[in-house]
Amino acid sequence: MTLEELEQELLRNLAQIIARSEELECHPLLIGGYAVRAYTKKRKRFTEDLDLVISRHDQGNFIATLKALGYEYRPETAFGGIKATKPVAGQSLELHISVDKVWDISSDKTYPLPEDIFVSRQLRPIEPYSERLKTIVRAPVIPLEDLLILKLMTLRELDTIDTIALLLENPEQVNIASYRRKVVTAELTQHINARIEAISQLLKSGQASEVWKRYMSTDLSSREIETAMTALKKLVIPTEFICPTSNSPQKHVFKTDAPRIDNLGNLYAFCPIHTYTCYELAVPS
Ligand SMILES: [Zn+2]
């Protein structure tokens, strides 16, 4: 089977899974390479992985869906999800399904999926990698903010490439308030901020361009590097706060590893010395 035929099979199977899931009222969402594809039109990357997430509530119906479509499935205790396979033309189609949370092996970090993403689902067109394939499947895809978190969370260079592609094609589309809430709630602030710093360094040093070329067979222009750096900067969660100490002319600035977020989406932290609740950011965004 050629890569083109494999992709055609994958997309056909994806369409079947989506249609059958609708009938059984369960709500899988695409993550991984095909979710990235849904948000990138110009910078496509071939992928043969079909990665999905479901909520625990939908697990029974989703397994019934897979069975009906001829998949073998088995629980994957390592990542708390399900692996499903189906033989097609001497090859094996593979599905990775995460349940309620996504665990990343490279960083050993977990992203608990926010419940609301399964309720307010967005169908997006998934364009084939090959120009010759004309079938465009519309599938429910994880929101851009959650996808970025999943990509930023890992230490794999492929995910760094995906992050850069997502930011280049959606520089203004990320809902920063929603993104912040998700990162803070998942207690990933420190980890994600460190990953953003690491990717910025790779972009600055030119290493990201080399990796990009290896995966995408094109060059990253200096303008693209600049755009990606600017977009990344916006994703840094502020961790320095100003404490309103009244009896001192000097402002007390302190740093926290884990800022909190209130119902309005404002970040805050408790000053460890003065026990004030501090809302004012040292570096206003
Ligand atoms: Zn203080």
Query: Read out DSSP for 17-86?
Result: HHHHHHHTT---EEEHHHHHHHH-SSS------EEEEE-GGGHHHHHHHHHHTT-EEEEETTTTEEEEEE
pLDDT of residue 179: 97
* Cα-to-centroid distance, 274 and ligand 1 (Å): 4
* Cα-to-centroid distance, 232 and ligand 1 (Å): 29
Distance CA 111, CA 189 (A): 12
In tens digits, the chain (285 residues) has pLDDT values of 888 888 999 999 999 999 999 898 899 999 999 999 999 989 988 888 899 999 999 999 999 999 999 999 988 877 778 999 999 888 889 999 999 999 999 999 999 999 999 988 889 999 888 888 888 899 999 999 999 999 999 999 999 999 999 999 999 999 999 999 999 999 999 999 999 999 999 999 999 999 999 999 999 999 999 999 999 999 999 999 999 886 777 889 999 999 999 988 899 999 999 888 999 999 766
Scan for tokens 């600017």, then name that residue: 230
Nearest-Å Rg of the Cα atoms of the chain is 21
* Cα-to-centroid distance, 281 and ligand 1 (Å): 13
Per-domain residue ranges of the chain? 1-142, 143-237, 240-281
Helix 189-205 / helix 157-169 crossing angle, nearest 10 deg:
80
pLDDT of residue 284: 67
Distance CA 94, CA 7 (A): 12
* Cα-to-centroid distance, 111 and ligand 1 (Å): 32
* Cα-to-centroid distance, 34 and ligand 1 (Å): 47
pLDDT of residue 285: 60
1-142: CATH topology is Beta Polymerase; domain 2 (3.30.460)
Distance CA 252, CA 243 (A): 5
Under a CB-based contact definition with an 8 Å cutoff, are residues 263 and 255 in contact? no
* Cα-to-centroid distance, 275 and ligand 1 (Å): 7
* Cα-to-centroid distance, 184 and ligand 1 (Å): 22
With a threshold of 0.75, does the pTM exceed it?
yes
* Cα-to-centroid distance, 283 and ligand 1 (Å): 16
